[in-house]
Amino acid sequence: MNDGCHDHLLRGVEILHDPSLNKGTAFTAAERDALGLHGLLPPRISTQEQQIQHVMYNVRRKPNNLEKYLYLIGLQDRNERLYYKTLVENLEELSPIVYTPTVGLACQEYSHLYRRPRGLFITRYDRGHIREVLQNWPCKNVRVIVVTDGERILGLGDLGTNGMGIPVGKLSLYTACAGIDPAACLPVMIDVGTNNSELWSDPQYVGLPEPRLDGDDYDSLLDEFMEAASAVFPNVMIQLEDFGNKNAFRLLARYRDRYCMFDDDIQGTAGVTLGGLYSALRMIQGKITGQRIVFLGAGEAALGIGSLVAKAMMAQGLTEEEAIGRCWFVDSRGLVVACRTDLEEHKRRFAHDLPFHRNLPEVVEAIRPTAIIGASGQPATFTPEILAAMARLNDRPIVFALSNPTSQAECTAEDAYRHTNGRAVFASGSPFPKVELDGRTFIPGQANNVYIFPGVGLGVMAAQAARVTDEMFSAAAKSLDEQVSKEDFEKGRIFPSLGRIRDVSAAIALAVAKVAFARKLTKMKEPVNLPGYIKAQMYDPAYPLW
Which residues are annotated as catalytic?
Answer: 99, 170
Task: Read off the DSSP letter of residue 268.
Answer: I
Maximum distance among all Cα pairs of the chain, rounded to whole angstroms:
79
The b/e string for 136-145 (b: 16+ C-beta within 10 A; e otherwise) is: ebebeebbbb
Q: Kindly report the CA angle at 505 between 500 and 509, in degrees rounded to 5?
A: 155
> Rounded to whole angstroms, what are the CA distances from 35 to 20, 43, 356?
15, 15, 73
Q: How far apart are CA 1 and CA 63, in angstroms?
A: 39
Beta strands 293-296 and 327-331 are parallel
Cis link prior to 405 (omega < 30° from 0)? yes
CA-based nearest residue to 309, from 328, 327, 330, 282: 327
Q: How far apart are CA 24 and CA 46, in angstroms?
A: 9
- In sequence order, which residues have a C-beta less than 8 Å from that of residue 57 and are 6 or more positions away? none
- In sequence order, which residues have a C-beta less than 8 Å from that of residue 342 and are 6 or more positions away? 333
First vs last C-alpha separation in the chain: 10
Q: How far apart are CA 505 and CA 482, in angstroms?
A: 12
Q: How far apart are CA 414 and CA 441, in angstroms?
A: 11
Cβ-count burial of 338 within 10 angstroms (0-12 exposed, 13-18 middle, 19+ buried)?
A: exposed
Question: In residues, how long is the chain?
Answer: 546
Q: Where are the beta strands (DSSP E) in 129-198?
A: 144-148, 185-191
Write the Ramachandran bin of 463: left for phi over 0, alpha for psi from -120 to 50, otherwise beta. alpha
Distance between alpha carbon 40 and the CA centroid of its chain, in Å? Answer: 39
